[in-house]
Structure 1
Amino acid sequence: MSSLLANTDSDPASATRIRVLVADDDPGSCRFLCDGLDSMGARAEACMDGMTALQRARTEPFDLLLLDCRMPGAGALQILTALREDEQACSAESIAVATTAELEPGTRQSLLDAGFSEILLKPCGLARLQDVLALVQPDRRDVRVLDDRAALTATGDATTMRALRLLLREELALLHQELDALSRDRAGFSERLHRLRSSCGFCGAAALSTQTVLLQRQLLLRGATPIALARFHKALLATLQALDS
């Protein structure tokens, strides 16, 4: 894994590559994730324990954090909580994905509520890893707007998934109509986004969930910017289109 940890600052192309922090104490998983991300054009850095990962995320700006739920020192939840509470951390607002080899009932939703944009079950294939990488590439055409596998894991069966997606469709249509007014109501908008995060988690709406988390945090810290609103609006429309197809 030494090639992945090498300093590539001298490479001009590295400045435009997505930076990913991979924190995992299992050598095999860490190697697969780093090599897979590297093959997709990202720039991965490996950490084998939680406290080292937290320190790196505090001092370096990463676009994406892949954090294992169980690590020596600190797990994914502890790391992300510490980062989100530290406004000075360079990766305080980075997109975060929790990785785990087993997912107990209810754990998925609790991780989404804590601020993770997605949960990656290990072992995984390169296609699933590409889905995760796409969370920081909202303009890519191959972003999976609705993840059926994630939705089925969260809901338990296809009938419940379809019912919840119908409810999400109604919620998003109403939100689209009220978006301009909500953008001027900081507290009301934040509360609405909080409820939306839960719906996105149950329905496998990963792209919209990511933009919802980022926008909600921005509202709490300093208010929504036009760019953040535009990205959220784009993800909302894409999700509506996917739900209608």
Structure 2
Amino acid sequence: MPTHPDTPFIAPVSAMPPRVLVADDDAASCRFLCDGLRSLGAQALACGDGMMALQHACAEVFDLLLLDCRMPGAGALQVLTSLRGNPQAGSAECIAVATTAELAPRDRQSLLAAGFTEILLKPCSMADLQRVLMLVQPERSDACVLDDQAALSSSGDTATMLALRRLLREELILLEQELEPLSRDRFGFGERLHRLRSSCGFCGAAALSTQTIWLQQRLSEREATPAALTRFRKTLLTTLQALDR
């Protein structure tokens, strides 16, 4: 890591095993998802219906929810809507991914508008599960943190990409310092995230872009919670570490 007199020390980001709630009434799908997540280092809890998933998500803190769109009792949309409406729930601010075997364009828009970060189509692969885990644990892969191919596609050439990444690095250092007071200004924070989202796109900062979009969604509904800010800051620091390599 290069050293500069004005470069702040950034503590390494620890990688704790993410806790994932998998809700699916299809036994084969549930088994594959849980076994796959566990093989990737996650802790997975399985349940077979929507109401049970909601009970677990209210009582416990998970890092990620995988919710099947069609389950007995309540589907993914109903579960997440109830969970987001209960700020006392342990996983009220948890990142959620909807799983489904078929998806119409209008259904995709409804799920994203309801707060799902992504939709996972079944049958899925181990690569798909790895990508989903990166939503909550971006430090698992540098490729997820900084996507050079995407950045080159946006910026046009290596020199421009590197120049934009230097600007992003400066922006992230300042944002990390201002994050706490800025988070109390809902409008100002939203505007700052809007600009950051654009910068992330040009620089191929995939993980931070995902967290920025998710936080924008949360701010459109209410103020940012400590859990949401912690997750965003973790990804911000991970991106800074990648930019300094």
Q: What band does the TM-score fall into relative to the shorter chain?
A: 0.5 to 0.7
Query: What are the ranges of 5 or more consecutive residues in structure 1 without an aligned counterpart?
Result: 1-15, 148-161
- Structure 1 position 31 matched with structure 2 position 31: yes
Query: What are the ranges of 5 or more consecutive residues in structure 2 without an aligned counterpart?
Result: 1-15, 148-152, 156-160
Secondary structure in 1 matching 2:22: strand
Larger radius of gyration: 2
Write the letter of the residue equivalent to 2:127. Answer: A
Q: What do the CA deviations read for 1:133-172 (whole angstroms, capped 9, x no partner)?
A: 121112222453599xxxxxxxxxxxxxx8xx68xx99x9
Q: What TM-score, normalized by structure 1, do the two folds share?
A: 0.65
Write the letter of the residue equivalent to 1:210. Answer: Q
Q: In the aligned structure 1, how far is the partner of 2:46 from the partner of 2:231? A: 29
> 1:221 corresponds to which residue?
223
Decide whether aligned partners of structure 1 residues 226 and 121 sit closer, same or farther in structure 2, where only a CA change above 3 A counts. closer
- Structure 1 position 44 matched with structure 2 position 35: no
Decide whether aligned partners of structure 1 residues 195 and 26 sit closer, same or farther in structure 2, where only a CA change above 3 A counts. farther
> Is the contact made by 2:58 and 2:89 (CA closer than 8 Å) also made in structure 1?
yes
Q: What TM-score, normalized by structure 2, do the two folds share?
A: 0.65
Identity %: 59
Q: CA deviation at 1:60?
A: 1.1
> Is the contact made by 1:76 and 1:98 (CA closer than 8 Å) also made in structure 2?
yes
Q: How many aligned positions are there? A: 205
> 1:209 corresponds to which residue?
210
Decide whether aligned partners of structure 1 residues 117 and 236 sit closer, same or farther in structure 2, where only a CA change above 3 A counts. farther
Decide whether aligned partners of structure 1 residues 64 and 226 sit closer, same or farther in structure 2, where only a CA change above 3 A counts. closer
Decide whether aligned partners of structure 1 residues 96 and 194 sit closer, same or farther in structure 2, where only a CA change above 3 A counts. farther
> 1:144 corresponds to which residue?
144
Q: In the aligned structure 2, how far is the partner of 1:48 from the partner of 1:71? A: 8
Q: CA deviation at 1:115?
A: 1.2
> Is the contact made by 1:143 and 1:207 (CA closer than 8 Å) also made in structure 2?
no
RMSD, matched Cα: 4.1
Residue correspondence of structure 1 range 1-245 to structure 2 within 5 A: 16-142=16-142, 144=144, 183=182, 185-190=185-190, 208-214=209-215, 217=218, 220-221=222-223, 227=230, 230-231=233-234, 233=236
Larger relative contact order (CA 8 Å, sep ≥ 6)? 2
Q: In the aligned structure 1, how far is the partner of 2:119 from the partner of 2:208? A: 13
Write the letter of the residue equivalent to 1:65. Answer: L
> Is the contact made by 1:145 and 1:206 (CA closer than 8 Å) also made in structure 2?
yes
Q: In the aligned structure 1, how far is the partner of 2:141 from the partner of 2:131? A: 11
